[in-house]
Structure 1
Amino acid sequence: MSEIAVIGIGMGTENGLTVEAADFIRSSDLLIGAERMLRDVAGKGQETCAEYLPARVAAAIDAHPEATRISVLMSGDVGFFSGAKKLYAALGTRNNPEDSIRVMPGISSVVYFCSQLRIAWEDVKLTSMHGMNCNLIGEICRNGKVFSILGTKDQAAEICRKLITYDMNEVTVHIGENLGYPEEKILSGRPVDFADYESSALSVILVENPNVNPVVTSGVPDEDFLRDKVPMTKEEVRIVSIGKLRLTDRSVVYDIGAGSGSCSVEAALRAVNGKVYAIEKNPTAVRLLYSNKLKFRVDNMEIVEGLAPEALKDLPVPTHAFLGGTGGNMEEILRTLLDKNPRIRIVINAITLETVSQALEILKKLPFGEPDIACITVAKSKKAGPYHMMMGQNPVYVITAEGAEAEKSENELERALVHTGVDGEKFNEEN
């Protein structure tokens, strides 16, 4: 029987260890971890094994049955963007049920870094760009303080160049390198100060934004968009259409026939950690898409110049799609979307009755569930001398549908509820 401890070693030096962790490490028969961690905390004569991948760590433990006390070293804190999560799973597959596994947290990089800056961290948005995708610009727009772990020498400069591109020069950037080590370096300044900076690969960044945009609902005013003479989905219709999509924070959205980008921008502001692909063939509209992307700082919006469905083929699998203009290719587009994701949720906007008829005919032919149709009629006030008159806009049909696979899941839920004796209609009303 072995006593195994998964230990967060903080910033990496012996001085940053908790007393409990330091005592356990000193009394261990075997230390397992990355080379730099072993170099900094291993005692003289202690047996070490330079492994950090979960499967290899588990194998190293099995290869040392004589060891009764084993320390598995993890950087920072085991609960903060740590490999400990996968390690627990790997250790759980070992055939040694008698082994005792303990977890000893360490000091996380955000706690240490903020303490050095004398900045409170309870309201910091925590992210990581170390081997992960993160819409850092979007998070900075929405939060006063954003922290991220970096993984390459050029990431800090890349972030600062993006901040400059999106005209976010008022933010304060703090960069921390080799935290806790003798070569520790902490720098603060504006994005322009670090546009060409090469940092250590062991770096973190904290960005303070004094001008946070707190708006979280849909409905950007029409006049805020740059539009030239390109058609645009109006504000009230846009609110309903985006609402019908039921986006999540991580949705992958196709806006087909994006025009000036009003729906693309709204979707990108909702799916901050997702991705929006604005597909448009009109060169004038494409230029407007780039302008509105910069204006609204939606770094998670990618512009695809081309005609659907051809332009969709090499894009990642979508979770949602908005069809504002199909160029006469509606059936081919819908088939492509279903091929990519049989459970996709779509919203189609139609102005003419012919388009409504065509859409319903295609949806009936393809494996979609029963569509939801809403007719949106909006009248807006217009000043006429001392009076205000209501001016009607063209009615717009908002058609929503999901791939039949999604409907199948709902039917399976109904069958499960019937099997357990639960009233399905009552369940849906309450949930």
Structure 2
Amino acid sequence: MVNNNFSPKWLSIVGIGEEGLDGLGMRARSLINHSELLVGGERHLAMLAEGDLREKLVWASPIEASIQEIVQRRGHSVCVLASGDPMCYGIGVTLTRHIPITEITIVPSPSAFSLACARLGWSLTDVKTLSLCGRDPALLNAVLHPGGRLLVLSADQKTPAIAAHLLTQAGFGNSQMTVLEHMGSPHERIIETVASGWSATDIAPLNTIAITCIPSTPRSHHPASRLPGLPDIAYHHDGQLTKQEIRAITVTALAPSPGHLLWDVGAGCGSIGIEWMRSDATCRAIAIESHPARLQYIADNATALGTPNLEIVAGAAPAALKNLPQPNAIFIGGGLTTPDLLETCWQALLPGGRLVANVVTVEGEEQVFRWQRELGGDLTRIAIQRAAPVGKFLGWKAIAPVTQWRVMKT
């Protein structure tokens, strides 16, 4: 039963820096002192006075159980102790998904990113920030580009070595790495090195990594662009690859938008879903593929190109599409003549969503023409020719023409 007789601001979230409770202002101290329940990690709760007998809650794993326990205390004074800025990849972001901000008071300390910029003289607005706390380090691959500046929240003391190895493998071994530990405390330390020469082992668990991206291989080898149409050589594949020019047209037709979900049906090596996700960090995609070797290609390509969160579903459509979350866009790159495939996709597509289908066979075109007459949309014939050697000269070599159907569900 929910108690409706409570002060609107019953939950407080206080960010704590390396100085501990001594570094907090009067408002933060007051919120902590007047709380009935104190929530945090063991490190945070250990900062409280030894004789503090108030109820305390240590974060559980998974954290959802603790979130629910906090929600159930609605109407009582609860204070969550956090690190730095709770709204910068912190617990505040999670809690505001469950509790209205009108019921929460948030008092942040400077974030690790702000402190790092102050140490390095960097402009935070010109830096790409990301967190590897509980996240796949391969996310770094999506943001590497010559001259780029990155600030990375480490998961633990092993993260800098993992990042250095990843940078070196990606051809950015010359990148300057700066590891900043315990910023704002008497134990603050800064370690500077080149990624390929990383050798430090005595790293503090709480650290932030600053990276200036410097390539160690030719620039053309780095798929830095976030726009669709990466070079074909960026992908491992067995020939089932939507070619660069057609891929650019296709992803543009799908019109990725932040937070939207794509189904890539008959994903091949995963290129469409990967480039959809590279367009924005919040874009999501599901790659559906039945061929075992191609499933591995998809996983490898997703990791190498910085989209390790691409969801991969092993199986043949339409059966494999059951129980998947409804998409905002669907791409069908193969198997269009499979019975019930188009019907299933069209039914699953959210209103306002886009369906794009590419076909190269006469039988596939027959299906597309029939559906276009029924549902409308646009038909486009894409014919690409590339220059290739013909003896001592150059001639035009045609890529198989593609018929593309684009339609929006109203």
Say yes or no: TM over 0.5: yes
Q: Find 1:217's aligned residue among 193, 205, 227.
A: 227
Matched, 1:127 2:116: no
Identity of aligned residues (%): 23
Q: 1:184 to 1:305 in 2, by over 3 A?
A: same
Greater Rg, structure 1 or structure 2? Answer: 1
Q: 1:186 to 1:319 in 2, by over 3 A?
A: farther
Q: Find 2:83's aligned residue among 75, 79, 84.
A: 75
Q: 1:293 to 1:6 in 2, by over 3 A?
A: closer
Gaps of 5+ in 1: 65-69, 95-100, 408-431
- Structure 2 SS opposite 1:361: helix
Alignment of 1:286-365 (within 5 A): 296=305, 299-301=308-310, 307-310=316-319, 312=321, 318-326=327-335, 328-329=337-338, 331-338=339-346, 341-343=349-351, 345-361=354-370
Gaps of 5+ in 2: 1-5, 60-65, 216-221
Structure-1 separation of matches of 2:324 and 2:248: 26
Asked whether the equivalents of residues 138 and 306 of structure 2 are also in contact (C-alpha less than 8 Å), the reply is: no
Match of 1:243 in 2: 252
Q: Which moved more, 1:295-304 or 1:202-211?
A: 295-304
Structure-2 separation of matches of 1:372 and 1:47: 69
Root-mean-square deviation (CA), in Å?
A: 4.9
Asked whether the equivalents of residues 55 and 90 of structure 1 are also in contact (C-alpha less than 8 Å), the reply is: no
Structure-1 separation of matches of 2:100 and 2:229: 49
Q: Which moved more, 1:340-349 or 1:312-321?
A: 312-321
Residue 23 of structure 1: how far off its partner (Å): 6.5
Q: Which moved more, 1:76-85 or 1:184-193?
A: 184-193
Structure-1 separation of matches of 2:200 and 2:247: 40
Asked whether the equivalents of residues 331 and 357 of structure 2 are also in contact (C-alpha less than 8 Å), the reply is: yes
Match of 1:410 in 2: none
Asked whether the equivalents of residues 14 and 86 of structure 2 are also in contact (C-alpha less than 8 Å), the reply is: yes
Structure-2 separation of matches of 1:304 and 1:371: 28
Matched, 1:253 2:262: yes
Structure-1 separation of matches of 2:80 and 2:53: 12
Structure-2 separation of matches of 1:181 and 1:201: 14
| Structure 2 letter corresponding to 1:37 | H
Match of 2:107 in 1: 104
* Deviation by residue 1:109-158 (Cα, 9 ceiling, x = unmatched): 22224445565544222223445678622443258233343456765555
Matched, 1:9 2:19: no
* Deviation by residue 1:179-209 (Cα, 9 ceiling, x = unmatched): 5567666555455677997976655444332
Residue 398 of structure 1: how far off its partner (Å): 0.8
| Structure 2 letter corresponding to 1:333 | L
Residue 214 of structure 1: how far off its partner (Å): 5.2
Alignment of 1:383-398 (within 5 A): 394-398=400-404
Q: 1:91 to 1:306 in 2, by over 3 A?
A: closer
Q: Find 1:36's aligned residue among 28, 36, 43.
A: 43
Matched, 1:147 2:156: no
Structure-2 separation of matches of 1:196 and 1:311: 47
Q: Which moved more, 1:140-149 or 1:279-288?
A: 279-288
Match of 2:173 in 1: 169
Q: 1:247 to 1:197 in 2, by over 3 A?
A: farther
Q: 1:279 to 1:189 in 2, by over 3 A?
A: farther
Asked whether the equivalents of residues 264 and 273 of structure 2 are also in contact (C-alpha less than 8 Å), the reply is: yes
Number of residue pairs matched? 385
Match of 2:3 in 1: none
Asked whether the equivalents of residues 371 and 401 of structure 1 are also in contact (C-alpha less than 8 Å), the reply is: yes
Structure-1 separation of matches of 2:367 and 2:321: 21
TM-score by length of 2: 0.68
Q: 1:335 to 1:173 in 2, by over 3 A?
A: farther
Matched, 1:376 2:395: no
Structure-2 separation of matches of 1:224 and 1:170: 21
Residue 325 of structure 1: how far off its partner (Å): 1.7
Structure-1 separation of matches of 2:190 and 2:306: 28
Residue 316 of structure 1: how far off its partner (Å): 6.3
Alignment of 1:55-70 (within 5 A): 62-63=75-76
Q: Find 1:84's aligned residue among 92, 114, 131.
A: 92
